[in-house]
Structure 1
């Protein structure tokens, strides 16, 4: 429980508003949502953020909370939304405070008095606390984003520094190295939203829908198709495919040779304005390109097919489709396809795309673009200002076993 350090007036106002919200049924008159509200309310207005474990133990009676259990996060999200909806429909009386659960914080506070400051010192303190033991801790969402990018950047820096003499980049990378712009290393990420049944919230699920790539997209879909998205909620989650690390391990040392400033961001963070000041290296699945998808295929001789598992030749109609999804679980061999391109984007950015249809191609494509002899296969097209190439990657149960060049062409 947090220490009470606010004024008596603040504490009194907080208690009065809590009672008003209870009487109005803002969090319901009974049930688990009301129990979460009551638990946070009894901690007082100046309490720090409760941990996920504390809420799980005191409210949900979980003696040993599961780190993968999203129940607490779901209920906190629902309670935050309930309070926002209540004040929108029933503004607080004159002079009365409004109560809120600030984003990323598990505490009930008077609006405008959030205690947490998400600076570097707090991130360092959190990471130090985690290193001391297995305690499950809830931290603000902005800390999570900052910490995740810091860890990825540290990983990239470690790969760069781990080799006293980074490998000489092949011809594929020379234009990027000769450019005078800093580099954005863009990793393909995915937005997830929750589908929460108000009657059975414990049966909620996380969903990836390729039409929904942000909270704003989710709102548009809710307006356009309320029957399908009526129970959908933004839960503040994005994810990166683990196999991106295999490509990252190969590409990071190549970027070390450029001696440039390299910034790591998620594809969902990339904006058009960044293409006016940076060059870009994209690593990830074709389905995670975001803004770069349209830019890449606008001047391409290839296009995406009916799904992200298909690449189609615009001229001949030939289709290269991954069959990983049908054969991944069996010992059968299958084919996946990796796509590599270099192009000039609107705004002047030099864009390198290192992508694949499925995860087997993503595991193998890093070694392909880092190979010293790639110039032999791409000697003609790679000499052009812009080019693209397609590689077939043979896989078995997720492992990339071999690869071969399918096509290589100059492009617009």
Structure 2
């Protein structure tokens, strides 16, 4: 008998090759280089008898060293496989026929047959014949119609509105006990831009000052800095990084459902333009850079034990330690790397409202923190290390190679209630 390692490879069927080509065309249109690279690798290995290991994917797809698979926290491989699995599910939503799947716990592509099998169809056919034989009385036929519908619901495979990943997300402590009676305010971090002129005729440059995030704050600044009165002007301009916009888009689509299983409603607003009513919602979720906290700065400072220190560091007030993203190794023979710091915090304000922060020093960490808080398994892994913490904050180091996020490491965390 052959051992599993000696099993022969199985050629890819024509149906599977067709589905691979269909999905790849869709994925190419989305311009997601990282997911496309991962999909091509899995497609190439789909004929192998042995499913590739995580470390193989790390080396072949991301070009990282062997330490990736053993790094603390959720690895980049698992993050991207999870996102690719969700992208495949979205592609096949509402479609009949065979479909590609990435089985849970495996790193391979499999062609799954249609869910309605011949046996199920046969059982439904027999059920219909049975009803027709008794259709000599009109009343019996009318009574049989809801019975057929109920039987079909039992016999046919049902598609839950909430998949297992979403259920796990809703069960996490990070997202627990959200108010279901009002929409979530999803505040995207942006900056208030000031125009600077030296001669009151030509704008010499635009200034982005985290301490001035509104016209009112500009007025207060000019009162204490009268020399800037004829130099700084409000042109009602605002700036949001592309990474923040993408992060807000992804987070809005992945918010956990209500306890009754309904889609959670949300209101997306730029933080600099959010009015008091929006920011007084029972649940406010901030997504964006740490430098753009704006109107939510006081809420964050009142509860969090982390503080930004300049533009490229975070200080832990509890330990006094200054966390700085490590400089990546830069060698001509290796891909270029990048490091960033990301932070997530689930807290309550003084008046009992739920305030959640999904943020980072830069776009790399901000976008990865969105992937973290929308991955129930990743949140559960973190929370298992912190038993009993209903509300908490956590700081992570995030690394990438050639723009592809490859590693996330927990560096500090604190309970917040």
TM-score by structure 1 length? Answer: 0.53
Query: Within 2, Cα distance between the matches of 1:313 and 1:205?
Result: 34
- Cα offset, 1:273, TM superposition: 5.2
1:361 to 356, 359, 365: 365
User: Conserved in 1, the CA contact under 8 Å of 2:309 and 2:315?
Assistant: no
Partner of 2:413: 408
1:172-203 per-residue CA deviation (whole Å, 9 max, x = no partner) reads 454255643421011111000111343751x5
- Cα offset, 1:314, TM superposition: 1.5
Query: Within 1, Cα distance between the matches of 2:325 and 2:342?
Result: 10
- 2:355 pairs with 1:385: no
Structure 1 residues 392, 230: closer, same or farther in 2, change over 3 A?
A: same
- Cα offset, 1:406, TM superposition: 1.8
Q: Which residues in structure 2 correspond to 1:121-132 (within 5 Å)?
A: none
Query: Within 1, Cα distance between the matches of 2:294 and 2:177?
Result: 22
User: Conserved in 1, the CA contact under 8 Å of 2:196 and 2:206?
Assistant: yes
Structure 1 residues 362, 277: closer, same or farther in 2, change over 3 A?
A: closer
1:394 to 399, 410, 415: 399
2:314 to 311, 328, 338: 311
Structure 1 residues 245, 176: closer, same or farther in 2, change over 3 A?
A: farther
Structure 1 residues 236, 276: closer, same or farther in 2, change over 3 A?
A: closer
Query: Within 1, Cα distance between the matches of 2:193 and 2:326?
Result: 25
Determine helix, strand or coil for the equivalent of 1:307: coil
- 2:295 pairs with 1:294: no
Q: Which residues in structure 2 correspond to 1:123-162 (within 5 Å)?
A: none
Q: Which residues in structure 2 correspond to 1:56-71 (within 5 Å)?
A: none
Query: Within 2, Cα distance between the matches of 1:356 and 1:281?
Result: 14
User: Conserved in 2, the CA contact under 8 Å of 1:246 and 1:366?
Assistant: no
User: Conserved in 2, the CA contact under 8 Å of 1:322 and 1:337?
Assistant: yes
Partner of 1:194: 195
Query: Within 2, Cα distance between the matches of 1:244 and 1:378?
Result: 26
- Cα offset, 1:361, TM superposition: 0.8
Partner of 2:27: none
State the structure with bigger RCO (CA 8 A, min sep 6), 1 or 2. Answer: 2
Query: Within 1, Cα distance between the matches of 2:354 and 2:224?
Result: 37
Partner of 1:269: 273
User: Conserved in 2, the CA contact under 8 Å of 1:285 and 1:362?
Assistant: yes
- Cα offset, 1:394, TM superposition: 0.7
TM-score by structure 2 length? Answer: 0.52
Query: Within 2, Cα distance between the matches of 1:197 and 1:405?
Result: 46
Query: Within 2, Cα distance between the matches of 1:326 and 1:359?
Result: 20
- Cα offset, 1:229, TM superposition: 4.8
> Which range moves more in the overlay, 370-379 or 335-344?
370-379
- Cα offset, 1:342, TM superposition: 0.5
Partner of 2:234: 234
Structure 1 residues 233, 382: closer, same or farther in 2, change over 3 A?
A: farther
Query: Within 1, Cα distance between the matches of 2:388 and 2:246?
Result: 27
For structure 1, the residue ranges without an aligned partner over 5 or more in a row are 1-160
Structure 1 residues 193, 276: closer, same or farther in 2, change over 3 A?
A: closer
1:357-407 per-residue CA deviation (whole Å, 9 max, x = no partner) reads 112211322111122322122235475331111111013465433212223
User: Conserved in 1, the CA contact under 8 Å of 2:197 and 2:231?
Assistant: yes
Query: Within 2, Cα distance between the matches of 1:239 and 1:325?
Result: 28
Partner of 1:347: 351
1:317-368 per-residue CA deviation (whole Å, 9 max, x = no partner) reads 11112468999xx964342111001011133211111000112211322111
In our comparison, the structure showing a higher alpha carbon Rg is 2
Partner of 2:183: 182
- Cα offset, 1:254, TM superposition: 2.3
**Cα RMSD (Å) of the superposition?**
3.2
Structure 1 residues 295, 324: closer, same or farther in 2, change over 3 A?
A: farther
Determine helix, strand or coil for the equivalent of 1:304: strand
User: Conserved in 1, the CA contact under 8 Å of 2:195 and 2:206?
Assistant: yes
Query: Within 2, Cα distance between the matches of 1:234 and 1:325?
Result: 39
Report how many aligned residue pairs link the two structures.
248
